[in-house]
Amino acid sequence: MNLSTSSMNLSHFTALRYRDFRLLRLGQLVSITGTQMRNVAIAWQIYRLARVDSSIQPELALGLIGLARVIPLVVAALVSGIVADRVERRSMLILTSLAALGCSVVLAFAAEMECPPPALIYAMVALASVAGAFELPARQAIIPNLVAPQHLPNALSLNIVAWQLATVIGPALSGILIAVAGVALVYWIDAASFLAVVVAALLMRTRNLTTRAEPVSLQTALAGLRFVFSHRLIAATMLLDFFATFFGATSVLLPVFADQVLRIGPTELGWMHAAPSVGAVIAATLLSGVRIPSQGMTLLAAVLLFSVCVIIIGVSRWLPLTLLALAGMGAADTVSMVIRSTIRQLLTPDELRGRMVAVTMIFFAGGPQLGETNIGFIASLIGAPAAVAIGGAACIVMVIGTALKVRELRQYDGP
């Protein structure tokens, strides 16, 4: 019995046998923790600046954060996918991390000003988004080069665990630091966190991760999109992800819920930002050592649960219930993410992986960022609670429509 239990526990961490994968995960854990701290600080800072500026409503000001992220991301994404397929991905990780570090340093200096211009904050958000648009394809595309194919699903699950663990620690720590020392310290910590990726990448032994060089052209850039929409199953997972996160984009309004609905401060706001990741870490840890049955139906059920949790957040006036619903959102999204990621990685040839991740990024990041702008505008008209609840209801309609229309997804059961 002890031997069986030990084997089961070890199976949760199989991909960590690979040295370079361990380095990548450790560096990303530190870096993403800093990024999540920064995201909370930006939202809180923009909200407070908008509260003293009568020219713009706080909800709309928060929604513009998503717009500042998504426009440069979409513009850069297809090009970044080509770059990830042409250059050494390890070097790309180093360069993008240094670029993001520079953005955080500017934010830190700006935070020391008595009244920093919101335009400068939005500009740094946009530039950091460009850096992220180049970093994510390199980081995701490098994983199949670091682990054996049979360990790829485990590596992807551990990847999600590391990301979600960082999004538990980062927001909670950020809320405390903002309450005690202000946002400037958070930005400095975020800047320092990018050095972890630089050091990890320099220590990695994996080299020459380029695939065959293709000329940079519009046709080459669109190869990822053509590939996605030539596979009905992949396209369905992309669209499901996009519309779920578009209609369920609640995180940008959390400062409004904290201040106006729940009547709490930045420390509790940090808890709210961390709650989805608590649920996600639990779900990802449980999934990392098991095979998910009836994967297509499980994916649909997970997105349906996500939608219900969004509605609960909109109607809740009690912090513990809100935290529980946020955790449920994170758990459901992680189940969905593991299945979606496995489908895409297994069905994508290596020479298209960078562009595939770039297309994924457009849907993965574009959905919530455009959703933040949309829900911020709607909330400025009808209030945050109603806007969020309506978004959750729209999610449910979208899931039911996808389930009825895409038979391949309903019948999918994995490799």
pLDDT at 7: 41
User: What total number of domains does the chain contain?
Assistant: 1
pLDDT 10s digits, 32-56: 999 999 999 999 999 888 888 767 7
Q: Is 263 contained in some domain?
A: yes
pLDDT above 60 for 173: yes
Q: What per-residue confidence (pLDDT) applies to 8?
A: 40
Compute the distance between CA of residue 375 and CA of residue 203 in angstroms, rounded to an integer: 43
**DSSP assignment letter at 115:** S
Is the pLDDT score of 330 beyond 60? yes
Tokens of 379: 């909330």
Separation of first and last alpha carbons in the chain: 29
pLDDT in tens, 267-303: 888 889 889 888 987 887 777 666 777 788 888 999 9
Domain at 170, CATH number: 1.20.1250.20
3 belongs to a structural domain: no
Flag whether 9 is in a domain. no
Number of residues written out for the chain = 415
- Asked whether residue 287 is assigned to any structural domain, the reply reads yes
Q: Find tokens 């999610």 and name the residue.
A: 395
CA–chain centroid gap for 355, Å, is 18
Q: How confident is the model at residue 352 (pLDDT cuts 50, 70, 90)?
A: low
Taking the C-alpha atoms of residue 411 and residue 406, their distance in angstroms, rounded to an integer, is 9
Task: Note whether residue 6 is domain-resident.
Answer: no
Residue 180: C-alpha distances to residues 106, 253, 266, 412 (Å): 21, 22, 10, 50
Q: How far apart are CA 343 and CA 252, in angstroms?
A: 29
Tell me the mean pLDDT in the region 314-327: 94
| pLDDT-based confidence at residue 13 (cuts at 50, 70, 90) | confident
Q: What is the pLDDT of residue 306?
A: 95
Tell me what pLDDT residue 227 has: 75
Alpha helix segments (H runs only) across 52-111: 58-86, 89-111
Tens digits of per-residue pLDDT, 177-226?
Answer: 998 999 999 999 999 999 999 998 888 876 544 555 555 455 655 666 77
DSSP per residue, 2-27? HHHHHHHHHHTTGGGGSHHHHHHHHH
Whether 2 is covered by a domain: the verdict is no
Instruction: Report which of 169, 207, 215 is spatially closest to residue 35, judged by C-alpha positions.
Output: 169
pTM of this structure: 0.72
Residue 292 belongs to some domain of the structure: yes
Classify burial at 318, counting beta carbons within 10 Å of its beta carbon; exposed 0-12, middle 13-18, buried 19 or more. exposed
The C-alpha atoms of residue 317 and residue 319 are separated, in whole angstroms, by: 7
Is-contact 306 332, C-beta < 8 A? Answer: yes
Give the 3-state secondary structure percentages of the chain, helix then strand then coil, rounded to 5: 85, 0, 15
Report the pLDDT value the prediction gives residue 12, as an integer from 0 to 100: 64
Q: Which domain holds residue 223?
A: 14-207+215-411
Under DSSP, the state recorded for 222 is T
